[in-house]
Structure 1
Amino acid sequence: MRRRLINSTLAVVLVVIAVFGISLVLVESRTIMESAHESVESDAVRLMSVVDGRLAGGDSGEEIGRDLLHDQVTAGRYARVDLPGGGTIEIGDRPGGEAIEARVTGEQGERITVRESSAAVRDEIVRAVLIICAVSLFAVLAALLLALWQARRLTAPLTDLADTAERLGSGDPRPRHRRYGVPELDRVADVLDASAERIARMLTAERRLAADASHQLRTPLTALSMRLEEISATDDPETVKEEAAIALGQVERLTDVVQRLLTNSRDPRSGSGVSFDLDEVVKQQVEEWRPAYRSAGRAVVCSGKKGLRAVGTPGAVSQVLATLVENSLMHGAGTVALRTRVTGNQVVVEVADEGPGVSPELGARVFERTVSGRNSTGIGLAVARDLAEADGGRLELLQQRPPVFAVFLSRAVSWGADS
């Protein structure tokens, strides 16, 4: 592209110089020739006026003299005065070869002839042509420098934009925020930067979804594997049937978790809350985690106000509670208690254990991603908070030591309900 810009610019300049330069040479040559003819005729007329005046005053040819007429002729020209009596006066050297000539006849019968060598006129034309050629060469050099500057000014940004596009294609979505002072190129840079920001957001969302999914699916899969172990370890058909039913329920909740994560990654505020029985969700979590706690020599219990109904997504609330119960199993100690209560127009599910709790350094930062004090991923509580907020609720740390986490949900109140 740079070569094309340079060649096109030089081509335009050369065409302009060829058209106007040749025209200027022709016009200048003609002007010099006409000026030389007019100058020779002017010398002849001036001589004629001097000679005619002297002759009219009664002077003879001898009295006119060469010296008197010499000052009336331009240097380098030849003049001849033929007097009426036959006398001749010559001024200057007669030019050889072609010459520009002017002849004038006076009232007294005298004849004046003035000549100038054509070589002198040609020399003047050559000088004019050389000046025009020098100016044209300067114009070509200036055009070449301008073409190089313009080509660099246009091709360097294009190369830079191509590098930016290649970086985007290779998975580096960082915007460069470079502008070049050319509106069209700056528009392309704006579009590339906007695309880079969108790609960065998409990649961040995809990576976050992958991390959330891998972390959040681990809990229901662990619970499901425990149920399958229970099935494989028993020969009682009733127990197998009961455990299989529970496993199927866990599979359904697993599907709900996946759907919820996908929906939440596209639009965090896309909750589709319904009224549900909070006791059933709490009971289901206690039953699912009791075998794991029994294996660890610990217990998980539930207490508090019964018959509460909340507004939200049962699968999401189950996942939030499962995250809190799992954290207590991994990082807590003693008995884990799930307690339900009412505050204002909200229902609250508290999850507490007898462990060391959250260190003062972490505090409320425990809900931030990648923040963890126990060598964990730091994703679980952040995702649980997002799930709770997507349902119009919230997840808070009410007490650090011993730890008490609380899930706040909108309360579904029906006529005749106990307030």
Structure 2
Amino acid sequence: MRKRVVRVAVVAVMVALVLLATPLAVGIQRSFFADERGELERAALAAAVRVGAKFASGDHTELPTGESDARVGLYDLAGRLRDGQGPATADPVTRRAMAGVVARGRDGQEMVAAVPVSTAERVTGVVRAADGTQEAWGRVTLAWLALAGTALVALTTGVLVARRQARTLSAPLEALSATAVAVADGDLTARADRSAIAEIDQVARTQNTMVERLTTLLEHERHFSANASHQLRTPLAGLQLGLEEAAADPDTGHLRAAVEEALERSRHLQRTVDEVLRLARAAPGPQVSERAGPLTGVVDRVERRWHGAFAAEGRRLDFVLEPSSRALRIPDRTGEQILDVLLDNARQHGRGAVDVTVRDMGGAIAMDVADEGSLALEPRIVFERGATTSRSGSGIGLPLARDMARAAGGRLTLVRASPTTFTLFLPIPEGE
């Protein structure tokens, strides 16, 4: 690109110089020759003034000398050279002046100016002044060389400016191309820098916006896959375990109970899938859940799912609902999913008894999930994806729960690090 910019600039400068220098060179030539003819005419006039009246009567008259480099000659009306320098007989230019007019022209390699000499309003002779064209051409040539030198300096300056401008123009474009190559190679953090050119900055901003949107889409897809695998792992494991126990025990009563539990878990799986898909399709910012259910139903389902898991580890799980909160309705799918994440986090990373307290905050429901352990992570990174202190952790659950709460118009916060206590705030739908 740099070569093309320089080439275009040089061609433009050359065209401008040609268009400017050609008429200027012609004007210089005409001006210098006009000056030379004017000098000859002034020399002839000066000599004609010195010619006395005696010349008309045929007396000898001498022309003044030394006032001009021109060859000055005096001719009578017969065309004979009477004094000074010039051809022996009058040339055509001199003969035209015999008519009483100032004549100019060329005689071979000489420029000629002829001025009539008048006495008593009668032409009595002609003064002829002539000089060679070599001196005029010498002056024209020097002027043309000066003009060519000026044009060369202008062309050199144009080339230097063009090269600098080419670097200025091509550098941001080359950087923009390098950024595009880096993005194509998988570096989604690459961004185009600002430059001093508004048009290129606009292209860079457009490219950065495109990369940011692509990055958001790719992260959205990756998060969806991670969220789905995280949320489905525990329900699927419980479903598989229940079916394996039913298959090992041929008792009809146990089989019926296992089938009912499997149906309940499959319905929970369906709700999980719907919630993860809803979160994946949600636009940034709060998106209040479309469906609200009784708070007591949410608590009952969560307690049934997790009571056995904690009991199997010898740990207590208690749910406490304030009386004023029992009749309220909340975004039930979101509430179940977030409670599942918090209880799974307490079972894997906490210790001791787990208490879930539900409080009516007036326009919102607050759910406190507390265990007797201490948070191993720094509070400032607890909701960052991938942040975990154990091999069994994935660092997905808590960030996912926070995103679900935000999408429902709520908030999930860490209240205390020891004993570990999380609080979920969910809005109560209008009219409740």
* Pairwise same-fold verdict (TM > 0.5): yes
- How far apart in 1 are the matches of 2:430 and 2:201? 58
Tell me: CA distance 1:351–1:180, structure 2 relative to 1, closer, same or farther (3 Å).
Answer: closer
Superposition TM-score, scaled by structure 2 size? 0.76
Corresponding residue number in structure 2 for 1:99? 110
Corresponding residue number in structure 1 for 2:13? 13
Superposition TM-score, scaled by structure 1 size? 0.79
User: How many Å apart are 1:389 and its aligned residue?
Assistant: 4.6
What is the 5 A alignment of 1:9-408? 9-52=9-52, 61=60, 69-72=64-67, 74-75=68-69, 77-81=70-74, 88-90=82-84, 98-107=109-118, 109-174=124-189, 176=191, 178-265=193-280, 266-267=282-283, 268-272=285-289, 274-298=291-315, 300=317, 302=319, 308-338=326-356, 349-353=367-371, 355-358=372-375, 362=378, 366-367=382-383, 369-372=385-388, 376-395=393-412, 402-403=419-420, 405-408=422-425
State whether residues 302 and 339 of structure 2, in contact with CA within 8 Å, keep that contact through their aligned partners in structure 1.
Answer: yes
1:317-339 Cα shifts (integer Å, max 9, x gaps): 22222223323322334454555
Alignment partner of 2:112: what SS?
Answer: strand
Q: Which amino acid aligns with 2:300?
A: K
State whether residues 340 and 350 of structure 1, in contact with CA within 8 Å, keep that contact through their aligned partners in structure 2.
Answer: yes
User: How many Å apart are 1:262 and its aligned residue?
Assistant: 3.1
Alignment partner of 2:51: what SS?
Answer: helix
- How far apart in 1 are the matches of 2:118 and 2:301? 141
State whether residues 219 and 323 of structure 1, in contact with CA within 8 Å, keep that contact through their aligned partners in structure 2.
Answer: no
Tell me: CA distance 1:145–1:88, structure 2 relative to 1, closer, same or farther (3 Å).
Answer: same
Q: Which amino acid aligns with 1:78?
A: R
Alignment partner of 1:70: what SS?
Answer: coil
Tell me: CA distance 1:35–1:16, structure 2 relative to 1, closer, same or farther (3 Å).
Answer: same
1:80-136 Cα shifts (integer Å, max 9, x gaps): 34589x995436999x97222233442464543322112222222222322232222
User: How many Å apart are 1:46 and its aligned residue?
Assistant: 0.6
User: How many Å apart are 1:382 and its aligned residue?
Assistant: 3.4
State whether residues 179 and 192 of structure 2, in contact with CA within 8 Å, keep that contact through their aligned partners in structure 1.
Answer: no
State whether residues 383 and 402 of structure 2, in contact with CA within 8 Å, keep that contact through their aligned partners in structure 1.
Answer: yes
Tell me: CA distance 1:87–1:381, structure 2 relative to 1, closer, same or farther (3 Å).
Answer: closer
Tell me: CA distance 1:247–1:314, structure 2 relative to 1, closer, same or farther (3 Å).
Answer: farther
Alignment partner of 1:106: what SS?
Answer: strand
Q: Which amino acid aligns with 1:99?
A: E
State whether residues 309 and 413 of structure 1, in contact with CA within 8 Å, keep that contact through their aligned partners in structure 2.
Answer: no
State whether residues 274 and 311 of structure 1, in contact with CA within 8 Å, keep that contact through their aligned partners in structure 2.
Answer: no
1:148-189 Cα shifts (integer Å, max 9, x gaps): 223222222222222223333333334646333322222212
State whether residues 192 and 207 of structure 2, in contact with CA within 8 Å, keep that contact through their aligned partners in structure 1.
Answer: no
Tell me: CA distance 1:148–1:93, structure 2 relative to 1, closer, same or farther (3 Å).
Answer: farther
Tell me: CA distance 1:175–1:193, structure 2 relative to 1, closer, same or farther (3 Å).
Answer: farther
Q: Which amino acid aligns with 2:16?
A: V
State whether residues 276 and 309 of structure 1, in contact with CA within 8 Å, keep that contact through their aligned partners in structure 2.
Answer: no
Percent identity reads 27
Tell me: CA distance 1:165–1:366, structure 2 relative to 1, closer, same or farther (3 Å).
Answer: closer
- How far apart in 1 are the matches of 2:133 and 2:405? 105
**Structure 1: segments with no counterpart, 5+ residues:** none
User: How many Å apart are 1:49 and its aligned residue?
Assistant: 0.7
State whether residues 312 and 391 of structure 1, in contact with CA within 8 Å, keep that contact through their aligned partners in structure 2.
Answer: no
**Count, aligned residues:** 405
Alignment partner of 1:114: what SS?
Answer: strand
State whether residues 357 and 367 of structure 2, in contact with CA within 8 Å, keep that contact through their aligned partners in structure 1.
Answer: yes
Alignment partner of 1:138: what SS?
Answer: helix
Q: Which amino acid aligns with 1:257?
A: T
State whether residues 309 and 411 of structure 1, in contact with CA within 8 Å, keep that contact through their aligned partners in structure 2.
Answer: no
**Structure 2: segments with no counterpart, 5+ residues:** 89-106
User: How many Å apart are 1:220 and its aligned residue?
Assistant: 1.9
Q: Which amino acid aligns with 1:71?
A: G
User: How many Å apart are 1:43 and its aligned residue?
Assistant: 0.8
Tell me: CA distance 1:238–1:26, structure 2 relative to 1, closer, same or farther (3 Å).
Answer: same
Tell me: CA distance 1:217–1:59, structure 2 relative to 1, closer, same or farther (3 Å).
Answer: same
